[in-house]
Amino acid sequence: MTQPEWQMGPTEPQPLIPGEPVPYGTPYQQVGPVADPRIPPGPPRRTVNPAKLWAGGVATAIVAALIAVAGILIARGVLKIPVLAPKDQGTWGSASTLTYALVAFAIGLIATGLMHALLLTTPSPFAFFGWIMGLATVVAAALPFTSNASLEAKIATAIINALIGIAIWTLTDSSGRRSLRLVSSRTVVV
């Protein structure tokens, strides 16, 4: 007497081909996060992908530094406005151009740190970040008017500061939104 050849029956799991429809009657197999029925459902919790957030933050800081350099070059070289340096120092000016760009870079990183802290701790991180950045940008744009520079230098510096602030604000906000994920509080990773 020979043994009958074994064949997959309707209760055996069928190998699935990615992209193909699942045949009717295929047993359900859970893969990935599972809702634990012993944990009562609650509001979703936020998780932050720090690598994505800080990669966006470094890119934002680079953009801010380049806006500072481009703004100074346009003001000094094209418009002949002595921003951050006397007219006799030329288009590139002195080390103040590099300092201005480095400060813009640092502010981009500080804004990313602020966004990270707000995402982890506050109930409405984007509203708070928007208010903080909006007010900081207004202060940065108004600050040149407290100096003894010419009116055209004050206006040019205020425009550069406002552009840097708006760029940091919008790019950091976007990086924060892209790095955020809402997860059900019942989800248990298996």
| Structural domain includes residue 128 | yes
Would you say residue 95 lies in a domain? yes
Report the C-alpha gap between 116 and 180 in whole angstroms. 10
102 located within any domain: yes
* Residue 164 lies in domain: 52-179
With respect to residue 92, please indicate whether it lies within any of the assigned structural domains.
Answer: yes
Look at residues 140, 168, 184 and name the one whose alpha carbon lies nearest to residue 67: 168
Query: What gap in Å lies between CA 45 and CA 37, rounded to an integer?
Result: 17
pLDDT of 170: 97
Confidence of residue 169 (pLDDT cuts 50, 70, 90): very high
36 has a pLDDT exceeding 60 = no
Q: What are the start-end ranges of the H helices in the chain? A: 50-73, 96-121, 125-142, 151-179
Is 157 in contact with 83 (CB distance < 8 Å)?
Answer: yes
152, part of any domain: yes
Task: Please count the structural domains in the chain.
Answer: 1
**N residues, the chain:** 190
Residue 78 lies in a domain: yes
Q: How far apart are the first and last CA of the chain?
A: 45
User: How many Å apart are CA 31 and CA 60, to the nearest integer?
Assistant: 37
The CA distances from residue 66 to 12, 60, 73, 115, 163, in Å, are 61, 10, 10, 21, 11
| Residues 6+ away with beta carbon under 8 Å from 165 | 133, 136, 137, 140, 141
Dmax (CA) for the chain in angstroms is 107
**Top-ranked range on mean pLDDT: pick from 1-5, 18-22, 86-90, 114-118:** 114-118
Average pLDDT over residues 58-71: 97
Helix, strand or coil, per DSSP, at residue 188:
strand
pTM above 0.85, yes or no: no
Amino acid (one-letter) located at 138: V
Q: What is the pLDDT of residues 87-105, one digit of tens each?
A: 555 545 555 888 899 999 9
Is the separation of the CB atoms in 138 and 161 below 8 Å? no
Structural domain includes residue 3: no
Identify the band that residue 136 occupies on the pLDDT scale cut at 50, 70 and 90. Answer: very high
- pLDDT confidence of residue 190: 44
Coil, helix or strand at residue 131: helix
- Is there a domain that residue 41 lies in? no
Indicate whether 86 pLDDT > 60: no
